[in-house]
Structure 1
Amino acid sequence: MKTHVRALVVGGGAIGTSIAYHLAKAGWDDVMLLERDELTSGSTWHAAGLLPLFNMSYATTHIHKYSVDLYKTLEEETGLNAGFSICGNLRMAQTQERMDEYMLYSSVAETADVYHEFMTPAQIKERWPLVRTEDLKGALFHPQDGYINPADVTMAMAKGARQRGVLIERKWQVDGYKWVGDHWEVTVTKMGERGGNLVPTEEQTVIHAEHVVTATGNHAQRTAKLLGIKIPAIPVEHQFIVTEPDPELVAYREAGNPEHPVLRDADAKWYVREERGGWILGPYERNAPACFQYGVPDSFRADLFPLDLERIEEEYMSMIHRIPSSETVGLKDDFNGPICYTPDGNPLVGPAPGLRNMWLAEGFSFGITAAGGTGYYLAQMMVEGEAEIDMASLDPKRYGSWMTTEYGVKKNEECYEHVYILHHPDEEREAARPLRTAPAYDRQKAKGAQFGQVNGWERPNYYGPLDAPESFDHDSRSFRRGEWWQYAMEEAKAVRETAGLIDATAFTKHIVKGPGATQFLDWFTCNKLPKVGRINLTYALTDAGTTRTEYTIVRLAEDEYYLVSAGAWTDYDADFLRKAAEDKAPEFGYIEIQNVTTQWGVFAIAGPKSRDILKEVLRDADVETALSNKRFPWLSARQIELGMCPVNAIRVAYTGELGWELHHPIEMQNYLWDLLVPVLEKHGGKLVGARAQNWLRQEKSYRAFGTELGRDATPLEADLPRFVDLSKEFNGKAAMEAKGIRSKCVTLLIDGPADADPWGKEALRDANGDYAGRLTSGGYSVHFGKQIGMGYVKPELAELGTKLKVKIMGELYDAEIVEDSPYDPKNANIRVDG
């Protein structure tokens, strides 16, 4: 047992072995992996081994594709056959809406170079006559994937790791982590067996590791307790059954026919594949319970739960409907084991919150598919400082410290049930809601607000009619224009023509102050710092020179700043900010960081009449000039009084109209709401939700973090040189300049279909039909009366007027690159005086 290593990987399933393998492959020659039992003894051993390429997430699609490609090479490298059956993957659709989902995915897949093809019911029946097809609309077929033996692929990666010098130690349990300034001291205990149970012995040692990676699967809650953090990875029971041989299937194969692809009837919520002449059915049923929410019992090893056949009866009967020959075959075996989930179904991959050199790889519901790619991209993050794709959507800090065990249980059970439920881009899942609500929530609801959820906060997506007919369904979702679309359009028009009031309370807010604050922020961000009373938009970069966070910085005093960033990323931003400040405090001096997100509410008022509305409630010695350009210029901040509410007002608007953000004490929010809304309505303004705001900001080419801005592109590639001060030194500057311009962010106007808009996931093609780039945002422009989008294209295609094609609902539509800020490019409306 080595006691000093560069990297210690904890967990010997498919994920952990892949990470160890890829760290060694990336050049780290002092890596050790610990497993408390035997390799694969967690969820890996009872996984079905499917390798689905289908995923709506750009990052996860890349991860899955890398895995599938890697697994095909392991035998040549290691001499071990990973048991990869490349039989393909057929996703069937019973409805047109399911086909719409596949058409949207098709465009996502193109951005990751994932081959796929569509099939008609007749084509399916011709190739696989045992499948009933008369009630199908069609299918999406991935001929290059299939399934693999989970234990074999894990052992192949373990052998590949050993060949590169990785030391793998079994029967060692981690019982403590301690950070000692520049490395981790990890207390480990040798495990023995007694009566078939795994038990600790008296043998104990301490391992000194520069980096630690946890890939502990079902034991994530124990890991969280040892580290003193929260990890919303909690297992859910997943059942699958194996049938006796099906005589018709046996005859079909004996006749020389190829193996069936993995069959997925998403509308019936199951997958089926061949298994030794019979079938494996894996359902994703309702009411599958979470388990081990407080930790795995010591007595649970490679164990299973009793089968609950009644719970999956509906899915079992639908398999018989789809494959009629399976009706007469008996059950041969069954599995009901724990598989980890997270509230959104994506794993937790990246640095642990608040800790140094501690990396998480937890919460994998599709762990075999994700193992190879996770190891590859996490190793890039650890070795090179950043991955080649933006991994923010998988970052563990996307869930804040407000998250509790009960929340994780409810959301993970919901997530399991939603594996095969249609994944609409406008999807809003209902479990554990409402939870985080601003004071005005009930008032907004009374006005018809239909809420979305961001970082647990309830936020109006749009305001629907209070007297809607019974035929109107606020909960309807669509891959095309939903019933909400007309209301979002009217809200967007109101901002352009009169005024709109938007709840932006979920914004992340930090105070940074102290003797070292100015020097720190000057190094931490790439733009000039504003003068006292002014604001600037700026970016914090990764060490790799890409965009880590977007900030609006308000300078309150010489050494005090108010930072506003995206509401979805509070803990993500807070962790990065605090760690950077701690690192630089010895050089710059004392820096104090305060997360004040929940102390301040925010209303944004925007539109041509916004100044008139504020004048009616403003308390000032000279109301007529208090909001003028002279006294309150664009990109400045002032403390004002609206009625009895003190407000830190910022003259900026994410919609591109005259407007202010009104940052107010959260306890006065209802008072301020009651003051503003009647005056807003008197002037013909509207309450406005997030969807209309998203459309409006695209008309101004305002980039958003998580879409246009991320860890795979620099601010210069985002085409934001005006916010980068190259005359100063800042974190990531040299790396940013070294990258050059690999792709460029552009805005496009699109002549799209009459009933659908882009969602920001679509592929772009050039005049020759070749792949040209991808959209990162999409929607509808009320000003231009057509679809709009933003995205990244090859630099040579980024010229104004370039004609491209965008793939929407399976068809190609004309798109043209337009100037930045196509609406009011000179910002005349924003600067209008009064």
Structure 2
Amino acid sequence: MKTHVKALVVGGGAVGTSIAYHLARAGWADVMLLERDELTSGSTWHAAGLLPLFNMGYATSWIHDYSVKFYKTLEEETGLNAGFYVVGNLRMAQTQERMDEYMLYAATADTVGIPYEWMTPAQIKERWPLVRTEDLKGAIYHPTDGYINPADVTQAMAKGARQHGATIERKWQVDGYEWTGSEWRVTCTKMVEKGGNLVPSDETTVVTAEHVVTATGNHAQRTANLLGLKIPAIPVEHQYIVTEPDPALAEWRNAGNPEHPVLRDADAKWYVREERKGWILGPYERGAPARFEYAVPDSFRADLFPLDLERIEEEYMSMIHRLPSTEELGLKDDYNGPICYTPDGNPLLGPAPGLRNMWLAEGFSFGITAAGGAGKYLADIMTEGDAAIDMAVLDPKRFGPWITTEYAARKNEEAYDHVYVLHHPDEERPACRPLRTAPCYDRMKARGAQFGVVNGWERPNYFGPLDAPESFDHDARSFRRGGWWDYARAEAEAIRGGVGLIDASGFAKHWVSGPGATEFLDWFTCNRLPKVGRINLTYALTAAGTTRTEYTIVRRQENGYYLVSAGAWAAYDADFLQKAAEDFMARGGGPVTVHDVTSQWGAFALAGPKARDVMAALIRDADPTTALSNKRFPWLSAKDVELLMCPTVAIRVAYTGELGWELHHPTEMQNYLFDRLMEAGEPHGLKLVGARAQNWLRQEKSYRAFGHELGRDSTPLEAGLDRFVDLSKEFHGKEAMVDRGIQAKCVTVLIDGPEDADPWGREALYDGDTQVGRLTSGGWSVAFGKSIGMGYVRPDVADPGQRLKVKMFDRLWDAEVAEDSPYDPKNAAIRADG
């Protein structure tokens, strides 16, 4: 076995072999894969091998699409048949709401180029008469996917990896990782058979590797312990059964008819496909337990759990309803095995937090579907610096260090249960809540707050009726305008015409200081740094010149900076910031310290034409009549102020585009400040405002949002943020940003859409019949009385006044490119004097 490699892949399932293949194909010939048992001996061996293209996420849709196309090429390249049966995939709907879900998905599919067809119940029945259709609304059909043999595709990728120069070693277990400062020392132990078990031998070796990728599947918790990380990938039981041959199906096939597509009745929570003239039923039932929360027992190899038929009785009976010919069939075989999940159901794919050259590929609940694309895009990040699509939504650092084993296990069970639950864009899943709460949580809840979760933090989405039942928020969800819409509209109108208060405590906050802080941040970000007492909006770039992070920088001291960034990306930002500071100092830069102070500071955003009146009632100043004037407190400045007994860092900025301040305060004084603001705001009609109204308002100002308009697939220049880029200085990623040029432009569009719906930010944009871009945000504009959205289009159709179309509910609706900041383009409101 080699003892030094450029990249070591740990884990020989479908995901690990794909990563080894794609790294080797990309030119890293010195790649080695280690598997503690045999290839495919983890979850790969008992996977059903389905390849559903359907996915509500943009990045994941690209990954699945690549896999389906890639698997079709393997036999020609390797000579091994990957066992791909392109029978198509029929996803049925029993309700109109389910069809709405499919139409929203289809909008994403259009942006990726995934083919699909719509089918009526009559068309389904005509084509596949064994399927009962009288209670269906319709279906979406993918003709290009189907199912594959997991073992065959894994072996084909393994052979391809070897052909490209990679080495694969079986029966070697990794028992330790040590970072030397330049490479990893990986301690490995030879595994041997003993009494039917796989046990460590006395033979050990150390492999040094520049890069390590872990794709350890069900063994992710062991990997986490070896690396000293928290990896919220824990398996959940998944059952599927195989029936005896179905005479009706045999008759159908013997008559020369084609194989049925993979059938999915999403409302019944199962998939079915043919298997040797019988059927495989795979349910996603309630109550499936998490397993191996801490480690996989040494005795568990290619093993299964006992079948629990009672748990899947409802799904079994619904299969009989949908395929009446199955009613008298016996069971031929059953499988109940561990499938790894994460709290949001998406894999953990990307650099490990806090570690150098350590990459995670864990938590693949749809591992066969995702393996090909995961290998391709991770290899792109490793070998080229980044992928062509923004992979942040899959980054392992989207879950912070507050994650615990109990949280991961319970949320993973929920993720399994939610595979076929309607995926509303405004859904908020209930498990493990509330957990992270601002001190004023109970006060806001008593005032009707309906909360969402961002990075574990409870954040008001909107404020509903005070007498709402516990189920109100669930009942309010929709693919169109949910029950929350009127409340959010009233909140947006309150900020435009009066004053509103927003809890922004979940913002990520970092304190960067030290003798080298100014030089470091000047290199780390693309805008000029503010003077002491002032603020600037700026961006940190990737090595490819795209947007890695957005920061509001408040310069508090000559070498002391308060950085505020998106709350959803706190750990993601912290890791990037800390590693960049270490790199800066390693190159000879002065000392820099980085502290995460998120939990130390609460934050309220007070905004609206009457915001100054509310502040004036609380501020204590020698001359309170001028304390909040433009002369003493100008826009884009920050001051230490006293709001009665609460010392506050007031920042004159507002994400809503109105006069306003962010009020950063000691967390322990939050309830005091909240009560005083509510009292002072009462004479002025102050209204509590949630995140959904704020999202609408920021689009009226064309304010780009990280994770939507801003990400690793576009540069600040493509986002139209030239005014925040200082090309006269040198900064990280500058040359790559300039060399990339303008491949697309960010625009704001006003939309004449349906009367009962607004875009969600996933829809395709068209110029006539030609797709020219996609939305990244969407909502309602109270200023213009119509739908609004932001997104990216080809540069030649980005000018204000350009007429476009937005695809919603399988129809094209008129849209027009607006000028940047269509509401108050001269910023008169936000600069208003007092």
TM-score category by the smaller chain?
over 0.9
Look up the SS of the partner of 2:539 in the other structure: strand
The aligned residue for residue 324 of structure 2 is 324
Is contact 1:474–1:483 with CA below 8 Å preserved after alignment? no
Q: How does 1:325-724 map to 2 (within 5 A)?
A: 325-468=325-468, 475-586=475-586, 587-724=588-725
Shift of 1:469: 8.6
Is contact 2:450–2:473 with CA below 8 Å preserved after alignment? no
Q: Which amino acid aligns with 1:616?
A: A
Deviation per residue, 1:116-168 (Å, 9 max, x gap) = 01000000000000000000000000000000000000000000000011000
The aligned residue for residue 95 of structure 1 is 95
Shift of 1:811: 1.4
Deviation per residue, 1:573-629 (Å, 9 max, x gap) = 000000000011142210000000000000000000000000001111111100100
Q: Which amino acid aligns with 2:811?
A: E
Taking the aligned partners of 1:467 and 1:511, their CA distance within structure 2 comes to: 41
Q: Which amino acid aligns with 1:298?
A: D
The aligned residue for residue 6 of structure 1 is 6
The aligned residue for residue 120 of structure 1 is 120
Taking the aligned partners of 1:5 and 1:178, their CA distance within structure 2 comes to: 15
Q: TM-score, normalised by structure 2?
A: 0.99
Look up the SS of the partner of 1:624 in the other structure: coil
Gaps of 5+ in 1: none
Taking the aligned partners of 1:435 and 1:461, their CA distance within structure 2 comes to: 16
Is residue 804 of structure 2 the alignment partner of residue 815 of structure 1? no
Taking the aligned partners of 2:468 and 2:437, their CA distance within structure 1 comes to: 25
Q: How does 1:734-749 map to 2 (within 5 A)?
A: 734-749=735-750
Deviation per residue, 1:784-806 (Å, 9 max, x gap) = 00000000001111111111100
Change (3 A) 1:778 1:28: same
Q: How does 1:306-317 map to 2 (within 5 A)?
A: 306-317=306-317
Taking the aligned partners of 1:418 and 1:646, their CA distance within structure 2 comes to: 44
Q: Which amino acid aligns with 1:710?
A: G
Taking the aligned partners of 1:736 and 1:766, their CA distance within structure 2 comes to: 27
Q: Which amino acid aligns with 1:667?
A: E
Shift of 1:476: 2.9
Look up the SS of the partner of 1:99 in the other structure: helix
Shift of 1:470: 10
Taking the aligned partners of 2:543 and 2:553, their CA distance within structure 1 comes to: 21
Taking the aligned partners of 2:368 and 2:447, their CA distance within structure 1 comes to: 47
The aligned residue for residue 250 of structure 2 is 250
The aligned residue for residue 138 of structure 2 is 138
Q: Which amino acid aligns with 1:734?
A: E
Taking the aligned partners of 2:160 and 2:207, their CA distance within structure 1 comes to: 23
Q: How does 1:254-333 map to 2 (within 5 A)?
A: 254-333=254-333
Is contact 1:474–1:484 with CA below 8 Å preserved after alignment? no
Is residue 800 of structure 2 the alignment partner of residue 800 of structure 1? yes
Deviation per residue, 1:160-184 (Å, 9 max, x gap) = 0000110000000000000001000
Taking the aligned partners of 2:648 and 2:291, their CA distance within structure 1 comes to: 47
Look up the SS of the partner of 1:224 in the other structure: helix
Taking the aligned partners of 1:258 and 1:728, their CA distance within structure 2 comes to: 64
The aligned residue for residue 178 of structure 1 is 178
Taking the aligned partners of 1:557 and 1:472, their CA distance within structure 2 comes to: 47
Shift of 1:475: 3.9
Is contact 2:513–2:592 with CA below 8 Å preserved after alignment? yes
Deviation per residue, 1:297-317 (Å, 9 max, x gap) = 000000000000000000000
Taking the aligned partners of 1:159 and 1:786, their CA distance within structure 2 comes to: 56
Change (3 A) 1:672 1:495: same
Q: Which amino acid aligns with 2:578?
A: R
Taking the aligned partners of 1:226 and 1:735, their CA distance within structure 2 comes to: 36
Shift of 1:684: 1.0
Stretch of structure 1 that moved more, 681-690 or 402-411: 681-690
Shift of 1:472: 6.0
Identity %: 77
Change (3 A) 1:242 1:470: closer
Shift of 1:681: 2.4
Look up the SS of the partner of 1:68 in the other structure: helix
- The number of residues matched between the two structures is 833
Q: Which amino acid aligns with 1:812?
A: L
Shift of 1:328: 1.0
Is contact 1:656–1:830 with CA below 8 Å preserved after alignment? yes
Change (3 A) 1:469 1:237: closer
Taking the aligned partners of 1:473 and 1:108, their CA distance within structure 2 comes to: 26
Q: Which amino acid aligns with 1:127?
A: R
Q: How does 1:200-239 map to 2 (within 5 A)?
A: 200-239=200-239
Change (3 A) 1:442 1:87: same
Is contact 2:761–2:778 with CA below 8 Å preserved after alignment? yes
The aligned residue for residue 149 of structure 1 is 149
Look up the SS of the partner of 1:831 in the other structure: coil
Q: Which amino acid aligns with 1:181?
A: G
Taking the aligned partners of 1:557 and 1:426, their CA distance within structure 2 comes to: 41
Taking the aligned partners of 1:795 and 1:223, their CA distance within structure 2 comes to: 46
Change (3 A) 1:777 1:470: closer
The aligned residue for residue 190 of structure 2 is 190
Taking the aligned partners of 1:701 and 1:685, their CA distance within structure 2 comes to: 25
Q: TM-score, normalised by structure 1?
A: 0.99
Taking the aligned partners of 2:554 and 2:46, their CA distance within structure 1 comes to: 54
Q: Which amino acid aligns with 1:585?
A: M
The aligned residue for residue 831 of structure 1 is 831
Shift of 1:467: 3.4
Is contact 2:260–2:273 with CA below 8 Å preserved after alignment? yes
Taking the aligned partners of 2:326 and 2:544, their CA distance within structure 1 comes to: 54
Is contact 2:22–2:379 with CA below 8 Å preserved after alignment? yes
Deviation per residue, 1:672-725 (Å, 9 max, x gap) = 001001222220120000000000000000000000000010000111100000
The aligned residue for residue 730 of structure 2 is 729
Taking the aligned partners of 2:595 and 2:784, their CA distance within structure 1 comes to: 42
Taking the aligned partners of 2:680 and 2:755, their CA distance within structure 1 comes to: 36
Taking the aligned partners of 2:528 and 2:349, their CA distance within structure 1 comes to: 33
Look up the SS of the partner of 1:162 in the other structure: helix
Shift of 1:461: 0.4
| Aligned-pair Cα RMSD in Å | 0.9
Taking the aligned partners of 1:703 and 1:472, their CA distance within structure 2 comes to: 31
Look up the SS of the partner of 1:419 in the other structure: coil
Taking the aligned partners of 1:695 and 1:223, their CA distance within structure 2 comes to: 42
Taking the aligned partners of 1:4 and 1:379, their CA distance within structure 2 comes to: 19
Taking the aligned partners of 2:59 and 2:821, their CA distance within structure 1 comes to: 28
Look up the SS of the partner of 1:704 in the other structure: coil
Is contact 1:450–1:474 with CA below 8 Å preserved after alignment? no
Look up the SS of the partner of 2:625 in the other structure: helix
Deviation per residue, 1:359-380 (Å, 9 max, x gap) = 0000000000000000000000
Shift of 1:809: 1.6
Taking the aligned partners of 1:428 and 1:173, their CA distance within structure 2 comes to: 40
Taking the aligned partners of 2:83 and 2:466, their CA distance within structure 1 comes to: 58
Deviation per residue, 1:519-538 (Å, 9 max, x gap) = 00000000000000000000
Look up the SS of the partner of 2:723 in the other structure: helix
Is contact 2:648–2:664 with CA below 8 Å preserved after alignment? yes
Q: Which amino acid aligns with 1:726?
A: L
Gaps of 5+ in 2: none
